[in-house]
């Protein structure tokens, strides 16, 4: 049985704040580690996150804390919601403060650019493969922070190789408004959550160009095929990509105005530069970095991913979006 003081969330961006609020509603109290002291102070004094979701009221049981060592050493369950590119460094620091019974729920989505490591591979490298499997599970699926905090119906997947831990975390997060499904395909669940952001950028670019719903549907469908090809090549199960962490998350992220990745893509399609879009943004959409990682992974694994390559060229080679889409449409014809 999870005690109310067992759980802390590490990372106070939008998604970390939402998961902290969700669990605080259920448990009565959850600690949220905030990198910025101003965020912790705002949560404690006004029950709002002043940097992320500043207009959303948070549960009174959500407490902000900016001392990572104190949080890591005093809670058994740590929900890690740190941007992927900073996850490895955070895990190395956390490792020096945890006990033998500490377990992790990873809710970050992406692939490390420098090493091409998935988040699960970072845990394995920091803690050792057996310890990482014993201690860690991975939460992914179609979920927007604002809707979770409003307690609108949401369903996600909890994946892991420790069946008992997956069951505990599945029960921990489950409420009448937040349904959790268990899975063992860590690779597929992780890659689904990461790669869908790349396709959401592509869908946004298409929308920004005014190409309509037919084009968006085609991009989502062919994008899912790309995700599945790479996922299977890397050891994931094809069926996983038809589930919540694959198709579900892809449809949500590629079609909603609440999606940061789709919004960045739309603005690119409308003619803005990536630099202008990201200037002043506190949260860089994971898809921007994941596109670079996914493009490299496709080359490494010998997997054909033309949509991912198109997004890469638009983001990093200043490719004109309209010409990139035209080139995709004029590729040699093939069977589906």
4 given a catalytic annotation: no
What Å distances lie between residue 209 and 184, 213, 251, 291, CA to CA? 39, 12, 19, 20
Question: Length of the chain in residues, anyone?
Answer: 336
305: Cβ–Cβ under 8 A, 6 or more apart, which residues?
A: 226, 229, 230, 294, 295, 298
Other Cβ atoms less than 10 A from the Cβ of 210: the count is 10
Point out which residues pair with 182 in neighbouring strands.
158
Catalytic residue among 92, 95, 167, 196: 196
For 37, half-sphere exposure in the C-beta direction (CA atoms, 13 angstrom radius) is 1
Contact 13, 87 (CB under 8 A): no
Question: Catalytic residue numbers?
Answer: 196
């Amino acid at each position: 049985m999870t005690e109310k003081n067992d759980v802390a969330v590490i990372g106070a961006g939008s998604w970390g704040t939402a998961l902290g609020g969700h669990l605080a509603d259920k448990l009565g109290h959850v600690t949220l580690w905030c990198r910025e002291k101003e965020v912790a102070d705002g949560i404690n004094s006004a029950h709002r996150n002043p940097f992320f979701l500043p207009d959303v009221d948070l549960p009174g049981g959500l407490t902000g804390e900016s001392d990572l060592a104190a949080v890591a050493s005093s809670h058994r369950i740590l929900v890690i919601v740190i941007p992927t590119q900073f996850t490895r460094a955070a895990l190395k620091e956390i490792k020096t403060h945890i006990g033998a019974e500490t377990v992790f729920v990873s809710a970050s989505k992406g692939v490390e650019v420098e090493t091409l490591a998935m988040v699960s591979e970072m845990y394995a490298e920091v803690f050792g493969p057996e310890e990482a499997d014993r201690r860690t599970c991975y939460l992914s699926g179609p979920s927007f922070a604002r809707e979770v905090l409003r307690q609108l119906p949401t369903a996600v997947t909890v994946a892991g190789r420790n069946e008992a831990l997956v069951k505990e975390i599945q029960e921990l997060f489950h409420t009448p408004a937040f349904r959790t499904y268990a899975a063992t395909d860590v690779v597929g669940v992780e890659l689904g959550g990461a790669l869908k952001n790349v396709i959401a950028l592509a869908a946004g670019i298409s929308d920004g160009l005014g190409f309509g719903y037919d084009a968006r549907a085609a991009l989502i469908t062919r994008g899912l095929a790309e995700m599945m090809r790479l996922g299977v090549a890397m050891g994931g199960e094809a069926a996983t990509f038809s589930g919540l962490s694959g198709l579900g998350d892809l449809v949500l992220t590629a079609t909603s105005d609440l999606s940061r990745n789709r919004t960045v893509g739309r603005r690119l399609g409308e003619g803005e530069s990536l630099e202008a879009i990201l200037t002043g943004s506190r949260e860089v959409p994971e898809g921007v970095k994941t596109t670079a990682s996914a493009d490299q992974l496709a080359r490494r694994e010998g997997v054909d991913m033309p949509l991912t390559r198109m997004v890469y060229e638009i983001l990093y080679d200043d490719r004109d979006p309209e010409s990139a889409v035209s080139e995709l449409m004029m590729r040699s014809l093939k069977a589906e």
